[in-house]
Structure 1
Amino acid sequence: MDALMKPIDHARCRELAHPDIANFAVSVFIVVGILVSYLPQHYKIIERRSSRGLSPLFVLLGTVSGTASIANILTLPESTTDMACCKEIGRFPCAAALLGIAQIGVQWTCFFFIMLLFLIFFPRAPIPGIDQDAEDVDSSKMPTWKEAVLVLAVSLAFFVFAFIGSVVFVYAMPSHVRAWANFLGLLATVLAAVQYIPQIITTWRLKEPGSLSVVMMCIQTPGSFVFAASLYARLGKGGWSAWGLFIFTGCLQGCLLAMSLTFLWRDRQERKRLEQEESDDSSERTPLLVTEDIS
């Protein structure tokens, strides 16, 4: 790790030695919020015992984007400067300085777990009684098990690529580290953008969110903008490739959330209509039953 550190910037270290308590509290809140926001998605897949409704490309691109994002912030000169300062400042200031890295690390870990749950509970075929309107969905349009395995293979392959590439640039070509970090950031942004396209298509095709957690999106959509603001406060304009990702994905996730809420509202109204019809039918039959009892 020592070789990864760039020369210590003593001015920066003096600044980090006295962390702002309010900023630290907000950053910790964001880390906890990221973890909590993913729990509804984990729970929904496990509770339904099915990952139907999640697009394989959504899971793949999200995992690869997260890997690129964590590699991006680990190799950004601003981040390596902060890590180098941990040699000169106390444990608490060091922890405060590295919270930006922790935020992205927690997010990557949580999404990687979604990928594992996606594989574990991948539906080989529509499940009547669990998947709404399963019989109405063309099984030929649903993802296959081979596609699910491909998600894991490509995700692991990119992880190896990002790791080896980062080591090469940090150790062998340090003058090009920022270019590499910006490349990873741009890649993460592009993949995160493309990530929502197959999921939006899948949700639109199913006409329901399925195993996609609406609660997660309700937390994450506004949280993305708070997260971006926190990263901007730490990295400044030079870290645009890191915080810009979360502004962009927040907008796209908001679109998916609006679609999911629309389908849920439609289903709720339909249930109310059916319940009302059943109630009306019951009311119409009641007088007949009373007449029969009297006679």
Structure 2
Amino acid sequence: MGAISSTLSKHCRALEQPDPLTVYLAVFILVGVLVSYLPQHIKIIQYGTSEGLSPWWVLLGGLSSIAAIGNILTLPASRADMACCKEISGGACAAALLGVAQIGLQWACFMFSVMLFLIFFPTAPDLDISSSIASITSSPPPKRRDAIIVGSTTLCALLVVGITSIALVAAWPHHTQYWANFLGSIAGLLAAVQYVPQIWYTYRLGDVKSLSVITMLIQVPGAFLFSFSLWLRVGWGGWSTWLVYVVTGILQGILLAMAISYYVVSRRATREQVEAEEEEEVGNNDDILCASAAADGALLDTDMDERSPLLQNGSMKSKRNESTMRSTSTNRQFGMLYAATPPEQDSDRSSRFGG
């Protein structure tokens, strides 16, 4: 027991003076892991669908993260670092556990991605629509069976790794190295091939859909930076630890290049469509103006044709009225002339001269 205590104290003394470069780099990576996953989570929630995410990519990533968290928690060196927190200061303890925090945060973020993938899994369309989608995109439509496989397999793996790790640490704490090595190998292998199905799926789909380009922009350089931080810890002799993340960064870089190219093509097609719609709208407006002008001209001609006989009839009526007025005035003058000598006076004059 005293030998174990002295060994533990010696290990803890090495952790009391952490390397500043390693600590700053680990903190930067820790923050980068959290920030890199946020755009992916937000995009799935905003779009309301996880369309564009390959079920195999989600499954392999989930299994890899589960194996990685099991590896870091059962590794004897990690458990020794945790035990040293009883002897060293809080800052030194936090620095010593930054590696555990990185793997743990990455596991939590990817598990949340798996949960969003299952919650917002695209509903299977009708048969006719599915056939048309498959013919256009050359990609099979999503199936509910894929979501069931991803969810059930991830849950089973989480239970198996969790229960086995707890049992080994509790019953055989000195024999957990083999289990940790096994989990580390599984995590590295799955992480190395994780992006292969997503690359193929995106290529067949021809679009990124709900796959976040911003997340990949952060994670591609982050993978190489993370491998560099591991290289600082284990050197060239631990190539099996950091080489996995180099391969992951290369594959994710290929996926990022595809996503950017599809994004550029999509923006160009959208811009051309908008320009075509604007030109069509301008042409329709010109046709409407021409038709309106023609209709106004025809209406004006019709109005002139209708007014012409009315004007002729009006002039004839005015001439008739003038002649009528002239005849009326002439008759009135003759009437006044005859009315100037009353008949009674004429009879008196004739009787007077006769008498």
Please say whether Structure 1 and Structure 2 have the same fold, judged by a TM-score greater than 0.5: yes
What are the residue-to-residue correspondences of 1:128-207 with 2, within 5 Å? 136-138=132-134, 141-174=140-173, 176-207=175-206
Q: Please state how far the C-alpha of 1:164 moved relative to its aligned partner.
A: 3.0
8 Å contact kept, 1:8–1:84: no
Larger radius of gyration: 2
Q: 1:176 to 1:239 in 2, by over 3 A?
A: farther
Deviation per CA, 1:79-121: give whole Å up to 9, x if none: 2332232222111100100001101110110010011111111
CA distance in 2, matches of 1:98, 1:38: 21
* Alignment-derived partner of residue 250 in structure 1: 249
CA distance in 2, matches of 1:60, 1:175: 31
* Alignment-derived partner of residue 75 in structure 2: 76
**3-state SS in 2 of match to 1:125:** coil
Aligned residues: 286
8 Å contact kept, 1:119–1:148: yes
CA distance in 2, matches of 1:248, 1:6: 40
Corresponding position: 1:47 with 2:46: yes
* Alignment-derived partner of residue 110 in structure 2: 111
Q: 1:64 to 1:55 in 2, by over 3 A?
A: same
Corresponding position: 1:98 with 2:97: yes
CA distance in 1, matches of 2:62, 2:274: 42
* TM-score normalised per structure 2: 0.71
Paired residue type of 2:229: S
* Alignment-derived partner of residue 65 in structure 1: 64
Compare relative contact order (CA 8 Å, sep 6+) and give the higher one, 1 or 2.
1
* Alignment-derived partner of residue 216 in structure 2: 217
Paired residue type of 2:23: F
* Alignment-derived partner of residue 88 in structure 1: 87
CA distance in 1, matches of 2:68, 2:236: 17
8 Å contact kept, 1:57–1:198: yes
**3-state SS in 1 of match to 2:102:** helix
8 Å contact kept, 1:126–1:135: no
RMSD: 2.9
CA distance in 1, matches of 2:132, 2:28: 43
Report the structure, 1 or 2, having the larger helix content.
2
Deviation per CA, 1:212-267: give whole Å up to 9, x if none: 11110111011111122223334556765543332221111111111111111111
Please, which moves more after superposition, 37-46 or 27-36? Answer: 27-36
8 Å contact kept, 2:134–2:141: yes
Q: 1:287 to 1:179 in 2, by over 3 A?
A: same
**3-state SS in 2 of match to 1:141:** coil
**3-state SS in 1 of match to 2:194:** helix
CA distance in 2, matches of 1:7, 1:106: 32
CA distance in 1, matches of 2:154, 2:5: 29
Give ranges in structure 2 of 5+ residues lacking alignment. Answer: 295-355
- Percentage of identical aligned residues: 47
